[in-house]
Amino acid sequence: DAGVIQSPRHEVTEMGQEVTLRCKPISGHDYLFWYRQTMMRGLELLIYFNNNVPIDDSGMPEDRFSAKMPNASFSTLKIQPSEPRDSAVYFCASSQSTSGRTYFGPGTRLTVT
Residues 32-71 that bind other proteins (CB under 8 A): 33, 42-43, 45, 48, 55-56
Cα separation of 100 and 87, whole Å?
Answer: 29
Distances, alpha carbon 28 to alpha carbons 1, 73, 76, 80, 94, in Å: 11, 9, 18, 31, 9
Taking contact as CB under 8 A, which single stretch among the options 14-22, 62-70, 77-85, 96-104 is the one that binds other proteins? Answer: 96-104
Of 11-19, 66-74, 76-84, 105-113: span binding other proteins (CB under 8 A): 105-113
Q: CA-to-CA distance for 40 and 43, rounded, in angstroms?
A: 9
Which residues of this protein are in contact with other proteins, per CB under 8 A? 31, 33, 42-43, 45, 48, 55-56, 91, 93, 95, 97, 99-107, 109
